[in-house]
Each structure stands twice: as C-alpha cells, then as structure tokens.
Amino acid sequence: MFRPAAITFSLLIAALICGCDNDPNPAPYHKTRPDGSPWRVRYMREPSDPKSFDPQFAYTVPDLQFMEPVYDRLLEYHPMKSDPIELMAGMLEEVPKKEVQPDGKVNYLCRLKHDIHFHDDPCFPGGKGREVVATDVHYVLQRMADPKVESPYFAPLEQKIIGLHEAREKGVKAGKFDYATPVSGFERIDSHTFRIHLNGPYPQLLYWMAMHTMSPVAREAVEYYDGEVHDGKVRPKFRFYMVGQGPFRMRDYTPRRAVRYERVEGYHTSVFPTDGFPPEKAEWLKQFAGKPLPLFDELHILIVQETIPNFVLGRQGYLDSITADKDSTAALVTADQQLTPKYQARGMGLEKAGLPNTFYISFNMQDPVVGKNSKLRQALSCACDMRAYVDIFYNGVSPVSNQLVPRELYGYDPKYVNPNGYDLEKAKRLLAEAGYPGGRDAKTGEQLVLTLEEPVESTEYRQRAEYEQRMFEALGIKIKVNENTFARVIERLEQGNFQLGAGTGWALDYPDPENFFMLFYSKNFPREGANYCRYSRPEFDRAYEAMAQMDNGPERLALIAKMNAMLAEDCPAIWEFDKAFYIATQPWARWTHNSPMIEYGYNKYHQVDPTEREKLRADWNRKPVWPPMALGGLLVAGLLYAVRWSRRHV
Amino acid sequence: MFSAFFNHWLTQDVLVVAGFALVFFLLRAGAKNDRWERAWTRMKRDRTGLIALAVVLLYLFIGAIEAFQIPSAGGTRSVLDLFVAHIQPEKSYSAPLADGLLDPTSHERLHSRHLLGTDVLGKDVFVQMLKACRTALIIGGMTSAIYVPLGALLGLFAGYFRRWVDDAIQYVYTTLASIPEILLLVAILMVLGKGLGSMSIALGVTGWVGLCRLIRGETMRQSERQYVAAARALGQSHWKIIIRHLMPNVMHLVLISAVLGFSNIVLAEAILSYLGVGAPVGTASWGVMIDAGRTELGRDPLVWWNIGAATFALFGLVLSLNILGDALRSAFDPKRS
Amino acid sequence: MFSYLVRRLLYAVPILFGVVLIAFFLDHVMMSPEAKAARVLGPKGTGEVRREWIHNRGLDQPLPRQLVSYVKNLGTLQLGTSWVTGRDLREVFLKGVGPSLSITVPGFVAAFFASVGLALFQVFVRNSPLDRGLTLLSVALMSVPAMVYVILTQAFLALGLCYFPAYGFGDVGSGMLRFIALPIVIFMLINLGHDARLYRAIFLEEMGQDYIRTAQAKGLSNARVLGVHVFKNGLIAIITLVVAELPRLVLGSLLIESLFGIPGLGNVLVQAIQTGDQPVIMASVVLGSVLYLGAFILTDILYALADPRIRLS
C-alpha cells in the first residue's frame, strides 16, 4: 500500500521542483511591438534602492542611473568618444560658447531645442505635457538655491553663477524661499533662448549642464506631487515621482525589488550619433547611425543588494550584464584586462564601466608626528606595495596609481614616475632619515606607533585593512587599526582626529583635472570641502587657482606638472589605485557606447536582441530531474522506515 | 591607560589562567553537594556526553594555548604560534595541499603545503581555524562571566524577595527582552566600538534575561519548600539563606544554561560578522571566515575551504556543547529525559 | 478578566517608555548629528548641505525636546520618515509585513507540524537508538549557522541546478511560490532542530505525570495515551511557547530575507542597519517591543484559559 504512494509522492516533488521557473523578472508589459516585431526589454541591476528621483537633490550613483532614462540633460557626453571625453548637444541646440565681458565676467548663450515636451501627466492642464522652455532652466536654478531642496550641487555653483548666493541668503532669512524673485545671473532672451552670467571664467559650467542637477523639471510637477492627500488620494512626493522629458517614463517602482520603465512614443530630442565610432565596433555600429532613439522598449532595473545573486542571475541570463565585484572579478576578468576564456566561450563581451576615480590614504598634515615629517610620510608611501594589493583584491585588474589624476582624464601624465612609489629598501632608508631607524625612535628607542583609520563595514574591507596594516608593519613600526563605519571615519577625518586615514578617494563629478586637484586646495578644508589631509601650501593654491580657470592646453599641463611635483615633495597622501569597474555583457546586449562617463547614462543608446536571449537562456538553465526525484525518494524512504520500525517495536 | 593594561600580554595570561582556575574552583565547590555527586555518577555512564565533554575540552585547550602569550623577539606570540611557526604565509589563495597559488597565471611555488589551503591574504586556513578557538573561548568566557552571575543573582533575588524587588527586576528584563535582540546588540556594539570585549558586553547585556527568568521561577518554587521556611524560622539572614540554601539548589540549572548559552554565543558571533560588527581586524574568527566564504563561493575556481573549515569547526563546538548540555540535564534530572 | 487586561496594558506603558528611552539614549551616544548626516548623505554632501540636513530633521535641538516630540509623534502613530529613502515608515512597514509573513508563517507552521510529529514519534520510541539518533539529528540541525544553510542552498540549488530563482520576489498570482519555496524550507530547517528537541522534552515531562500512569494502568494503548493525553496536555505548553514566537514571525528573518532579496521587514532592518537609517531602526525597536508585549499578554491569557486553576488576578 505504501509503495505506490511513495512513488507518486517522489514524482510529485520532482514535478513541483522542476516545474518551477527560475526567472526572477516579472513579465514584460507587452509581447510584441505594434508592428509585430518582438518587444525589447533590457534588464539592469542596481545594488540599492533609489534615495530620490529629484534631479536637483539626487547625487548618488544609483540615483543617477534610476533617473537617467527619464530626464534628459542640457548637454551630454558623447557616447563613443572617450579620448578625450567630449561634450555634445542634448536638449540644447549646440554646446554653448563662452562670451567674455569687458569687466572680466563671463556668460554663456544657450538655445533650447524646440518641440521638446514634458511627458503627459495629470499635473499639466488636460494631462498633456507642455513644451520645455527657458524658464524651466531658471526654475531649476531657483530650486538649487532653495534650502528645503537640500541640493548638494549648490555649494560649488554658489559663487560662480551671479545671484545664486543672494537668492539663497534671502530664502534662509525669510524662512521660506521666494520663487517670485528671479536669480539675477539668468537672463531670458526669448522662450527658448537664455544667457547664464558668471562671476568670472568657469569652464566647468558646461559639465554641470551635462549633469542631472541642471536638467529641466516642470514647476507644475513639483507643486502637484507634494505627498499630501487630494480628493481622497495620496499623491507621491516629487522626490519619488518623475515627470521627465527623456526617452522613457517610469511605470512601476516596488521598493527593494525593481523599477520599470517604458519608452515614450514620439521621443525625438536626439538620435543615434553618426560619428566617433571606435574602430573595433564601427562596422557593427553603422547599422544604428542616425536611428531614432531609444533602441529598446522597456527597461527593468532590478535591485539586488547581494553580490552572489547578482552573479548567479547574470550567469543564468536574467540580467543583461554582470558587474564584476571583488570575487566575481576573478571569474570574469583576467589580469591583462580580458574576459576569461570561459565567458568568452559564452559569447559575452567585456566593457569598462565606472567613473574615473582614484583612491588614496590620507595623512593628517596637522598631526604632530606624521604632519611635521615629510620623510616619514614618504617612507610610508614607499612601503605601500599596491601592485600586490591590486593583485589580491582586484585580480590585478585595477591599475596602481602614481599620481592624483586618474588615467582616463585630461591632465594624466603617462610618463610621470612617482618618487614615492613602492621600494621597501628606500622606505627603510627614508624612515631612518626621518628619525626612526628600524621603526624605532632614534632618541628614545621606542617603537613608532601610528593609528590608521579604516572604514570596515564588511569582511572585504576587513581583509583590506589587515593587508594595509601588514604592509606598513614591514617597516618595523606598529600600526594600530581603528575600525569604524564609513560615517565615523569621515567624522574623524573631518575633525582632524587621525594620523592616517584609509579609504579616502574621489570619483569625478566632471572630466576636468580641477575636480581632483581641489582635494588639496587649502580653502577646501573640511567641513566645506574634502581636503581631509588639511594640505596647505600657498604655491600650490596659486597654481590651482590659475589652473582651474584655464582651458586645456600646454600651459595647463605645465601647471599640473608643477602641482604633481609639490604633492610628491610633501606627500600628503599615498596614491593607491584607480579602481577599474568591469561589466561583462551578454551576447544579446552588446554595448553600443564606449564612454567612461557611464554613470551619467546611456540607456537610450543601448540595444538588445530578444530572440537570441530567449535561445541562450533556455540553454543555460537546464534542470536535471534526478536530484528532486532522489530527494523525494529519500524523504519517503525515511518515513516508511520510521513507520515500519515503530510497528515492529511497539 | 586602562586598555593598555588589559592589552598587555601578561594581564591577558593572568586573566586566562584565573578564568580557568575560577571555573574549576566553582565546579569543585559546587560538586560537593550530593545532587551534583549523583549527577556526576550518572554522567560517567553517558558515553555520548563524555565524548562531547572531551571535544569541548579540546576546543578549550586549543583556545587556551592560543590565548596564552609568551614574550618573543620583538613582541609576543602565542603558544600555538610556536607549533605553527614553520607555516609561512603565501601571497593569496591556494587550494588545500596544492603546491601553487590558485591564480593560474602565477607560477610561484608555495613555501609549504597547507592542509586546508590559504585564504585571500595567504594565511593558512587550518591555523586560522585553530586560532579562532581563542576568539570563541574569549567571547564565550567573557560573556558568560558577565551574564551568568548577573542573571543568576538577579533571578535569586527576584524569586526570593518578591514584591518590589521582583517588580523592579521584572521591569528591567521585560524592557530589555522586548527590544529586538539583534538591534540591541548592534546598537551596543556601535556605541562601544568593535572588539571582543565590547562584543562580550553586548552579548552579556542581552543574554542574562533568559537565565534570570529561569532562576527566578526555580527560586520561587524552592522558597516554598520546607527547608527555606525552616531556615527562616531559625532566624538566618536573607543573604545566608540565598547563599547556603537556595543557591546550591539552582546551581545545576545555571551550569546547564551556561553550557547551552555558550553555543548560542558562538552562533551569534557568526551573525554579527555578517552585519559588519564582528571580530576586529587581525583576530581570527569563524564568523568572519564564513562571511568571507559567502562571496568566495562566487569565485572561479570555487574557494570552499575557508567557509568549509570554519563551518566544520563551529559545528563541532556547538554540537558538542549542545550534547553536553543535554547530557548534563539528564544527569541532573533523569526523570525528564 | 477585563480588569486584568487593562492592568496588563497599563503595565506595558512604562515598559514601552523604557524601551524608547534606551533606544534614544543608545542612538544619541552612538553617533553625533554630523556623523549621521555624513552617513546618510555620503562623502559628497559636505558643509552647508549637511547643516541644512541636520536642521531640517531637528537634530540640532536639545535631546529632551527631541525625545518629547518623538514620543508625541508615537502617540499619534506617526513613525516618521526614513532618512535614506524619504518614505513614510507606516507605508514601509505595512508593505514589508506581507513578504515577511509569507516566508515565516509557512516555514513556521511546517516546522511546527514536523517537529511535533518528530517529537511524538521520539517519545513513542523513547530511549531506543532511533530516538537517540533523531535527537542527535535535531541537535546537529540547530548547530549549523543559519547563514551556512542559506549559502549552501543558494549556491547549489539556485546556481548549480537552476530550480528556483536565486533572488527576488513576486506578488501573489505572479508565481510567488517559486520565490518563497527555498526561503521557507530554510526557515523550517533552522527551526526544526530546536523545536523538535524542545517539544520532545515537553512531551516527556507529560509522560512522567501521574495521570498518564493512571491512564496506562487502566490499560489504554500506548498510542492512545500518546495521541490523546500527552499530545493534548503537552500542546498547551507548546502553544504558549509558539505565541511567544509570534513577534519574531512578523519581524521576519534578517539573514534569509536579505540574502534572498525578499522585501520584508528583516530586509528593511538590515538595510537600515547598514545605512544608518535611524528612524527605521527606532521604529523597528518600538514595533518589536509592542509585538513582544502583545505576545506576552496573550501568553498569560492562554495559560489561564488552558488551566482553570490559574486565575487572572
């Protein structure tokens, strides 16, 4: 009587388990396009929920990625040109030209493209999106100045755009920002033309125009989406609702799961570029040249915090790319920056992804021990074997850095040799010259003890901290590691309450060397800026100020070389590495673009091939039948045994 | 200065020896009572229980020789280090008993073969596994040293004095118990900063409630017995009644819960590591090894030895502690098992 | 009965206040407002932005005033908004309860039946090698850290064998079952060993009671004694234990939810811990203690209902 039941049961378990589909993505909105061709969906992943969808408030990298499909920007980075990085027109007709006034002030004349519309939304009269006009840009400037918006991009622009500072002051004093008072640096010429007036030369303004922070939003939308109840329905806050003008609109957002977008019919602000194709992809890219955008219909951004599931989903073909993290880098990327053969065989591609950045260990220049002793700092810098570090933690993929500016950027000097690069013998010599032969104080004979602040929030950081400690202790000194959360480390760095601070670094806001050298400018001491080292040298400041206002050219490079030499001499920081981010792309979702400015978004240029995806996915997800059968059998056998045993013995 | 005192190797050695001596003394003193003698006779017949006891003692021994520091050139090292001094660190991962690094592009030969391979920093996993016994011993020992006396005494007081003492103690522990445990742990650890000491304090603060409740109930039951009433009639002081009469009758419960509690502490350490408030840098710990293994399983080739070794070691200790606890319980109270 | 309930509820008020006080104190000494702002805003939110952020959240006010306004808000059931995501916490918690319960309740129920069955069976065959073997198995099951269960199932079942989605969640109707199957099994496994061992002890204690001996003496069959008397009386003890577990079910499992991407309360909590989202943590503490106290009162009532000798006085 038991046996048939047992067999049925184990078959049932097997059927149940094998019948399960392991696709984590919800079904797309449509199966086919109106013209009958297959509906194209792109699947992306972000590691955390969006903090905000407000272009003037959002600033984290994931937030930019969540907003980018919906909000176009005034200017864009060319998706193909990476050397050098180049700006191109976005919502503006062309990249604005600088006009210098007789009194040294500078202004930019900007012309918006005609016939760009906000997406249809109930916040507009009749639900029809209205045209984007010049006053929308003015409104954006006002929002940046409004203290309630908490825009992090206000501070760098405050002193540059005329009238911005005054607008903020007035708002703070009155307790409420007055949107009726205009910002004096904005001059409206006609409905689509405006001029922005600056206090002096500031070529970086153009880069700000390529960021979301200056992306036009509709005042109607900001006022409509207030988070209050109207007519019995709660309207979301503007921070969590996007009314954009870009190629996609957001349709669903489920926290901790996914954000889903659908293409906007009739989007025509830009088309696929026709120039600048990199030679290795040129042949393939030609087919897209001049095509209307976007190239696909639906976008899913899955929120996957954990790294292993991300890797698993990528391998199963449920994500269109796999981001390489510490451990999966070993599986995906070889030391010479190629895709590993195993993944090449799958037809995947490898792309460099991630903003140009650099990491360094900061010295506290005001500390009585390390701050006053440049030989000691140089010795510590020479003791840092970053090659081995990168080999261990990044599989040799991230390049070791020898200067402040990362290699993708203008101002990087490929011929530069860091005098404080790894050389343990030299380090020991320098340490002796610094007054600590063998790591002991020459006068007292006591071992030198230094404190290293380490942000440790996961096991990975813990391992790094341990490595860095070992690296310095090779000199015979003792390193006390002070583990903390990121926030606490930042707090200590800001208070100047440290000797060595690890985990400091910078990812660029815009591709200009000024964005990096400002980290050592003496007017950028915390808390206003990020000069955690508290490096202050008048010559450096003068060079920086001159360099910041210059256009690219040999004169600028000369100043940069001078500043590099000063940084080498004073050694306020130990250059670690420029973190390289890699993404392995699926065969059906080869990347069309080639720019390191990826965080600023190129979704509309992407393409996918759903037919090939279908085929490969089925191939990659075969399920063997025997393990569930065996499991079922085992369970049944166990039960049967128990029943029999108790019958016999009781 | 305070921490310098406690960080000194001599202090730590003295503490380790003192801790073991104290436990031994307490067990000896407790075992004079005939309930304990009967239990010990029964325990001697329980083979599984004895094996578990031996395993636990082995763990404690390994932990103790790692905790015991002796001076050596340029600092101190543990006794365990003496035995493994010949094992050199490698550059990074290597598989168990392999002669080269895991990285296929590297052709360097290893310094020596490693029984369980090496981890990301090239440290021998087997040695790390052994060294983590010390972490488990310290956390388990210090936490027990905090929560066992606290829980037992407060439980005795609450159960004996009743009225407002009971009310006050109940209020405190209900309040503490009603805060989700993991949040309280993380919060205390964030306040105190990382370290084995603060971890023990955090676990001690959250851990005494269960014991206190148990002892309170048992004390109430015992207080209604004749012998307590008799002692009271003889005019003995409260303190004497508690120490002489009540304590010996609840101590076996304390012992059993301490043994079982030890296993919970070891398991809790693993979760704290996942939340990023585990053992500090430079301290070997199973929890950290398991957490590192979580992402290492995504490597290619698979790195399984790190998580495998830590899980095995942790499993062995927790399992033997649980079995030992069960054995003790049935030895003290044969009716109920 | 009614007056007892009222008294119990009143008794809960000072406890809740104590909880809020402890949480507030810990939160205050844990991080300065500056560090909190730095943590939430990240390294690029410096100077002015941070000061505004602190001011807009009232963190620059004296602590007693902050406490009073927090308690006032709690009184009107305002939990505040998350610092990180800016969402109303009532919404966050309401949305998180469902997914949490979808894992914990089936897992718990399955573990309950499996462990009661196992425990009864063990009592039935008590002191045999089978009983000892099963006890050892239960102990072994509870000696594996929960994380190892998750990692292994995820690595082998989801990655290697492609039976279940490795990550994610679906709503009812859109194939929810395949997402929750593995987490439920793991939740069950984690509970099974512990529960089976505990219930076995409870049933054994019942076996030793006088009335069981009387029943056996009357010639009732072993199975009947077990099935009716032991099970019925032991169940009362077990149910009270189960009730005490209920708050845990609502709050969800931190590890399982965050490693499998279940958008439940456990996941909310892990993220809040990792990002320093203080309002979420505070609200979780309050919610946790309310649930705990609720379960506490419920246990008392159940005891009284089950055992008429206990009066609710």
Residue to substitute from B120, B271, B296, interface A, most A β-carbons within 10 A: B120
Q: What is the mean pLDDT of chain B?
A: 84
Structure-token match 């500390």, residue found: A367
- Judged by a CB distance cut-off of 8 A, whether residue B34 touches chain A is no
Identify the sign of the CA torsion B138, B140, B143, B145. negative
The mean pLDDT value for C55-82 works out to 85
CA–CA min distance C49, chain A (Å): 6
Nearest neighbour of C26 by CB, restricted to B187, B263, B323: B187
Q: Does A342 touch chain B (CB under 8 A)?
A: yes
Q: Which residues of C touch A48 (CB under 8 A)?
A: 271
CB contact under 8 A, A627 and C161: yes
Q: pLDDT of C220-247, one tens digit each?
A: 676 677 677 777 777 777 877 888 888 8
Mean pLDDT within A15-34: 80
Q: Is the pLDDT of residue C212 over 80?
A: no
pLDDT at A1: 45
> In sequence order, which ranges of chain B are alpha helices (DSSP H)?
2-7, 9-30, 34-45, 47-67, 79-83, 125-161, 163-178, 181-192, 196-223, 226-233, 238-240, 247-274, 286-296, 305-332
Report pLDDT digits (tens) over C77-130.
888 888 887 788 888 888 889 889 989 999 999 998 888 888 888 887 777 888
Distance from CA of A415 to the nearest CA of B (A): 28
Whether C204 has its CB under 8 Å from any CB of chain B: the answer is yes
Facing residue for A392 by CB, picked from B120, B190, B276: B120
What was the pLDDT predicted at A216? 95
Q: Which ranges of B111-195 would DSSP assign to H, the alpha helix?
A: 125-161, 163-178, 181-192
Q: A49 contacts in C (CB within 8 Å)? A: 84-85, 271
Average pLDDT over residues A236-262: 90
Q: Directed axis angle between helix C265-275 and helix B181-192, to 10°?
A: 0
Cα–Cα nearest to C261, from A250, A620, A307, A461: A307
Number of B–C residue contacts, CB under 8 Å: 113
Region B31-54 average pLDDT: 84
- A460: chain B residues, CB-CB within 8 Å: 292, 295
> What is the rounded average pLDDT of the residues C21-43?
82
Q: Distance between CA atoms of B35 and B249, rounded to whole angstroms?
A: 8
- C159 interfacial to chain A (CB closer than 8 Å): yes
Cβ proximity of A51 and A59 under 8 Å: no
Give the lowest-confidence range in A355-364, C198-207, C278-287.
C198-207
The chain A residue lying nearest B280, using CA atoms, is A483
Interface test with C, best of B176, B183, B265 (most C CBs within 10 A): B183
CA A235 – CA A224 distance, rounded (Å): 8
Of C14, C22, C147, the CB nearest to B179: C22
The pLDDT score that the predictor gives to residue C173 is 64
Q: Which chains touch B (3 or more CB pairs under 8 A)?
A: A, C
Interface test with chain A among B90, B108, B189, B295, by most A beta carbons within 10 Å:
B295
> What is the pLDDT at residue C309?
56
- Span B43-63, mean pLDDT? 90
Distance CA(A544)–CA(A410), nearest Å, equals 15
Q: What is the mean pLDDT of residues A497-520?
A: 90
Strands A349-352 and A229-230: unpaired
Higher pLDDT, C153 or B337: C153
With CB atoms and an 8 Å threshold, state whether A650 touches C41.
Answer: no
**Whole-number pLDDT of residue B129:** 92
B117: alpha, beta or left, given left = phi > 0 and alpha = psi -120 to 50?
left
* C81, β-bridge pairs: C88
For A519, name the nearest residue in chain C, comparing CA atoms only.
C44
- Inter-chain CB proximity B187 and C27 less than 8 Å: yes
How does pLDDT run across A423-452, given as a tens digit for each residue?
A: 999 999 999 999 999 888 888 888 899 999
Answer whether A256 touches C (CB < 8 Å).
Answer: yes
Choice between A121 and C88, residue whose per-residue pLDDT is larger? A121
Q: Which residue has the higher pLDDT, A541 or B94?
A: A541
Region B251-273: mean pLDDT is: 87
What per-residue confidence (pLDDT) applies to B335? 62
Distance from CA of A78 to the nearest CA of B (A): 35
A648 touches chain C (CB under 8 A): no
Residue tagged 């050592």 (tokens): A520
User: In this complex, do A650 and C223 lie within 8 Å of one another by their Cβ atoms?
Assistant: yes
Shortest alpha-carbon distance between residue A309 and chain B (Å): 9
pLDDT higher than threshold 60 for residue A38: yes
pLDDT tens per residue across span A174-210: 888 889 889 999 999 999 999 999 988 888 899 999 9
pLDDT tier at A381 (50, 70, 90 boundaries)?
very high
The partner residue sitting opposite C162, judged by closest CB among A302, A304, A622, is: A622
Confidence of residue A4 (pLDDT cuts 50, 70, 90): low
Mutate to test the interface with A, among B281, B290, B291 (most CBs of A within 10 A): B281
Q: How confident is the model at residue A149 (pLDDT cuts 50, 70, 90)?
A: confident
Q: How far apart are CA B41 and CA C158, in angstroms?
A: 50
Mean predicted confidence (pLDDT) in B253-274: 88
For range B42-57, the mean pLDDT: 89
Nearest to C257, CA basis, from C109, C100, C95: C100
* A528 pLDDT more than 80: no
Residue of chain C whose Cα is closest to the Cα of B290: C148
Instruction: Inform me whether the pLDDT recorded for C44 exceeds 80.
Output: no
User: In chain C, which residues have their Cβ closer than 8 Å to the Cβ of A18?
Assistant: 163
Minimum CA–CA partner of C144 in chain B: B315
Contact between chains at A255 and C49 (C-beta distance less than 8 A)? no
Sign of CA dihedral B249, B251, B253, B256: negative
Inter-chain contact C288–B183, Cβ cutoff 8 Å?
yes
In one letter, which amino acid is C299?
T
- Enter the ipTM: 0.85
Is the minimum CB–CB distance between C284 and chain B shorter than 8 Å? yes
Report the 3 state secondary structure along chain C.
Answer: CHHHHHHHHHHHHHHHHHHHHHHHHHHHHHCCHHHHHHHHHCCCCCHHHHHHHHHHCCCCCCHHHHHHHHHHHHHCCCCCECCCCCCEHHHHHHHHHHHHHHHHHHHHHHHHHHHHHHHHHHHHCCCCHHHHHHHHHHHHHHHCCHHHHHHHHHHHHHHHCCCCCCCCCCCCCCCHHHHHHHHHHHHHHHHHHHHHHHHHHHHHHHHCCHHHHHHHHCCCCHHHHHHHHHHHHHHHHHHHHHHHHHHHHHHCCHHHHHHHCCCCHHHHHHHHHHHCCHHHHHHHHHHHHHHHHHHHHHHHHHHHHHCCCCCCC
Spatial separation of the C-alpha atoms in residues A87 and A95, rounded to whole Å: 7
**A160-164, A247-251, A445-449, B193-197: lowest mean pLDDT where?**
B193-197
pTM: 0.86
Mean pLDDT along residues B187-194: 85
| pLDDT exceeds cutoff 50 at A578 | yes
Distance to chain A for B8, nearest Cα, Å:
14
Which pLDDT score is estimated for C312? 47
How confident is the model over B42-63, as a mean pLDDT? 89
Give the pLDDT band (50/70/90) at residue B142: confident
Q: Which residues 136-175 of chain A have a CB within 8 Å of chain C?
A: 147-148, 150-152, 154-155
Does the structure show a pLDDT above 90 at A229? no
3-state secondary structure of A425: helix
Identify which of A33-42, B21-30, B246-255 has the greatest average pLDDT. A33-42
- The pLDDT of residue A360 is 94
- Residue A649 has what pLDDT? 62
Q: What percent of chain C clears pLDDT 90, i.e. is strictly above it?
A: 2
CA B60, B65, B69, B74 torsion-angle sign = negative
The pLDDT assigned to A267 comes to 92
The arithmetic mean of pLDDT across residues A369-374, rounded, is 90
Asked if residue B310 has pLDDT above 50, the reply is yes
Dihedral-angle region of residue A84 (phi above 0 means left; psi in -120 to 50 means alpha; beta otherwise): beta
Out of A5-9, A136-140, C115-119, give the one with best mean pLDDT. A136-140
Q: What is the pLDDT of residue C313?
A: 44
Q: What is the mean pLDDT of residues A242-271?
A: 90
Residues 244-263 of B with CB under 8 A from A: none
The number of beta carbons lying within 10 Å of the beta carbon of residue A234 is 11
* Mutation site, C27, C30, C46, interface A, largest A CB count within 10 A: C46
Judged against a pLDDT cut of 80, whether residue C160 lies above it is answered with no
Contact between C143 and B186 using a beta-carbon 8 Å cutoff: no
Instruction: Judge contact between B172 and B211, C-beta under 8 A.
Output: no
